[in-house]
Amino acid sequence: MSRGLFDLAERTALVTGAGQGLGLAIARALAAQGAHVLVSDRMPADCERTADALRAEGHTATAIAADLALPAQIEALIAAAGGIDVLICNAGIQGPAGPLTAAGDADWQQVLDINLRSAARLCTGLLPGMARRGGGSVILMSSIAGLRGNRSLGLYGLSKAALAQLARNLAVEWGPQRVRVNAVSPGLIRTPLAEELLQDASFMARRLQATPLRRVGEPEEVAGVVVMLASAAGAFVTGHNLVVDGGTTVSDGA
């Protein structure tokens, strides 16, 4: 049956951080639209588990483990991926909690290397081949933490704001070669990364009051947006940072 505007048949998509949470949901959604998914995560066992689950559902998937904190492993991932049509840079870390003044040089290095530099390295290595194949789509996973001030996750927010700017820059650079680059900024989504917040009753009361839809987002709701940007449905969208937060960032909290 034709998938129409969202059809990704005969496309190859690389998803980093695909072992759980958003990455897993994105990998599953891309596969459901016919893409051959290259599943990447730091732990080989997580990669294999995700790839096995996709194959069990009748999809095609290949596991390629890589620690994106290590440039040599990023280069190995680029070589193993070969020619791709869709790149989803989802892997990242939260980094230290607390004010920016408490973050040390090692904290800055780690958060920016994993959250930002790894995405830039992957784009540098993979976008030329994508252009040679006739074009493609890149989605960088940003966050609403990069859209407003944050007193406890400042480094994370800085790295995510930079990813949105990276998407804009690359969209301008690569648009003439039919490569689209966008960012997606989720709000609070029900993932393992958010589990501590989801269990904090006072935080949740404040957050839901500030969210017009009055609920937490689900991973599949972010994955659907990624599929749109990866497919023909998003063919005239580039350089955009698409916010998926139930309205949190536009609300007055009333």
Please count the other Cβ atoms lying within 10 Å of the Cβ belonging to residue 125: 16
Tokens representing residue 56 in the block = 């069990």
3-state secondary structure of 230: helix
Structure tokens belonging to residue 36: 């051959």
Residue 82 among the catalytic residues: no
> Among the options 85, 89, 156, 243, which is catalytic?
156
User: What pLDDT, in 10s, does the model give residues 130-185?
Assistant: 999 999 999 999 999 999 998 888 999 999 999 999 999 999 999 999 999 999 99
Evaluate if residue 99 carries a pLDDT over 80.
yes
Answering whether pTM is above 0.85, one says yes
Question: How high is the mean pLDDT of the chain?
Answer: 95
